[in-house]
Chain A
Amino acid sequence: DTGVSQDPRHKITKRGQNVTFRCDPISEHNRLYWYRQTLGQGPEFLTYFQNEAQLEKSRLLSDRFSAERPKGSFSTLEIQRTEQGDSAMYLCASSPSIGITYEQYFGPGTRLTVT
């Protein structure tokens, strides 16, 4: 049973550069979520997909952020023109389409450091 995987695990970039993260959900899960977690804080919701459709976006997701989930499989989160305030752990989670609680299973996260 392969869980949610994220790549890369760590990314160091210079301010102003673009970065892209990838998330591979559990294969039978059709829902996929992105969260951001800064040091000492709980995760904050960024966006959510059901299959390939992006159904909800947080106001935290500025114009510099874009997420896609082509073909309803893996997802990518791109940050353009990174800023130091973007430094955080980016968490991906997936959940099944059955089961009333739609339990979310998390990946290990991608830690972004913007210098």
Chain B
Amino acid sequence: AQTVTQSQPEMSVQEAETVTLSCTYDTSESDYYLFWYKQPPSRQMILVIRQEAYKQQNATENRFSVNFQKAAKSFSLKISDSQLGDAAMYFCAYRAGNNRKLIWGLGTSLAVNP
């Protein structure tokens, strides 16, 4: 069975600094997708960044980038120039290529200190 593990329940970062959130996953599939979602307090889940497993190049979206290590089954999220609005729960999620459902980690609560 596929699993997603986020080993950091809480993280904090100073405004304008860089922080990295960790995620590991387990799968025997070769075709899959990985996602980072952000859930601000009392607000809805929004997609931050996605990575297709067949792509070797790490995905980047503005201040957000990933370090995708396929052999190690690791998918970390780097947030550069952290802003107060980045404070939220961050969830790592996995989807097998032939499936539609997302499998989620437990989340990392990120605090951004001014």
Contact = CB atoms under 8 A, between A and B. Distances in A.
B102 A104 contact: yes
Given A44-B104, A56-B101, A101 B52 contact: yes
B52 A33 contact: no
A108 B105 CA distance: 19
A109 interface: yes
- Which range contains the number of B residues in contact with the other chain? 20 to 34
B46 interface: yes
> Contact size class for A?
20 to 34
B100 A95 contact: yes
Interface of B: 4, 33, 37, 43-47, 50, 52, 91, 93, 95, 100-107
Interface of A: 3-4, 31, 33, 35, 40-45, 48, 50, 55-56, 58, 91, 93, 95, 100-109
